[in-house]
Homo-oligomer: A and B are copies of this chain.
């Protein structure tokens, strides 16, 4: 693997000149230019990025931390981030944290050593102390998905509380009285917020909260399946279930079907996220949509803004709020109920 010195020697110029044709082509005569380019080609020279980054003290890679790449939500975010990163000539270091704070912290250190240009933290479990570490190293970052009122950083998020509130409200509007909730992992703040939204909606409607109607899932299809099975065994079977994400909703639908019951006839199901598959399962899933691809785009743009202006007294932090949106489809039994009522 040849280096800049060998190229310089072979071309009969100085290393500075070779460096210049790469970085400041305008400052090199046409003849030299061609000569150097030519010998680079002949020698199959590829500049060494490490040396370059070391000299320049900056890299062209950013890090993307996501909790679970197998949840279709996150590839969409990744796509958004990738689209702008690639356009900026950056690469992405992908880290799958598996919703594990330890692993996430682990990655954090590796990435700081790698001197990434910035971080995008998705549904991060990092604590203030960890974030402080990033800031101490003066590495810009933006958070996606989690609204932490108390910290003043770049973030783009939707309000989980409101989303959960709205969809529960919708279930109430349709006419259900006994509404259960399969939560996500309750050590994640957004799942607490969703649970809160669910509870608030119920309370405002003057309904009692029944603790047996709240079961904890694990954010995966299987958790939804298990949760629904548990709910089906209750003496007083719920009429509707709000699953904290679409994956669990899909699992819940599966559980209900395999129990010989009908969705939404016997039990209505709604989810959260609006992953692509939500529109393709049977019945089509009523859910809360967040524009995740866009959120990825926005977060990445925000990040590059910070990267490009890092020298400045760190500018204003932005909190970008994205409106969650109720998508009424079939699984909530909206139409059926409406018909029933008017009969």
Question: Across the interface, do B112 and A96 meet the contact criterion of CB distance under 8 Å?
Answer: no
Q: How far is the CB of A1 from chain B (nearest CB, A)?
A: 6
- A17 sits at the interface (CB 8 A): no
- A137 sits at the interface (CB 8 A): yes
Which one of A117-125, A203-211, A276-284, A301-309 is at the interface?
A: A276-284
Question: Across the interface, do B69 and A72 meet the contact criterion of CB distance under 8 Å?
Answer: no
Which one of A51-59, A144-152, A313-321 is at the interface?
A: A51-59
A280-B221, A281-B280 known; A78+B94 contact, CB < 8 A: yes
Residue from B96, B112, B281 within 8 A of A46 (CB atoms):
B112
Cα-based distance from A82 to B1 in the complex (angstroms): 28
Interface size, A (range): 35 or more
Cα-based distance from A135 to B250 in the complex (angstroms): 45
| Residues of B contacting A82 in the complex (Cβ-Cβ under 8 angstroms) | 69, 94, 96
- A260 sits at the interface (CB 8 A): no
Cα-based distance from A89 to B318 in the complex (angstroms): 34
Question: Across the interface, do B96 and A91 meet the contact criterion of CB distance under 8 Å?
Answer: no
- A79 sits at the interface (CB 8 A): yes
| Residues of B contacting A46 in the complex (Cβ-Cβ under 8 angstroms) | 109, 112-113, 137
Question: Taking CB as reference atom, which chain B residue is nearest A276?
Answer: B221
| Residues of B contacting A47 in the complex (Cβ-Cβ under 8 angstroms) | 113
A70-B79, A277-B277 known; A61+B92 contact, CB < 8 A: no
Cα-based distance from A92 to B64 in the complex (angstroms): 10
Question: Across the interface, do B54 and A138 meet the contact criterion of CB distance under 8 Å?
Answer: no
- A136 sits at the interface (CB 8 A): yes
- A323 sits at the interface (CB 8 A): no
Residue from B50, B76, B103, B221 within 8 A of A53 (CB atoms):
B50
Cα-based distance from A44 to B133 in the complex (angstroms): 8
Residue from B49, B72, B103, B115 within 8 A of A113 (CB atoms):
B49
Residue from B75, B103, B114, B253 within 8 A of A75 (CB atoms):
B75
- A254 sits at the interface (CB 8 A): yes
Question: Taking CB as reference atom, which chain B residue is nearest A257?
Answer: B282
Q: Which 6 A-B pairs have the closest CB atoms?
A: A282-B282, A94-B94, A50-B54, A49-B113, A49-B114, A50-B53
Q: Can you report 23 A-B residue pairs in the complex whose CB atoms are below 8 A from each other? A: A46-B109, A46-B112, A48-B115, A49-B113, A49-B114, A54-B54, A61-B93, A64-B94, A69-B75, A69-B82, A70-B276, A72-B72, A72-B75, A79-B96, A82-B94, A82-B96, A91-B95, A91-B107, A91-B111, A91-B114, A92-B95, A250-B280, A281-B282
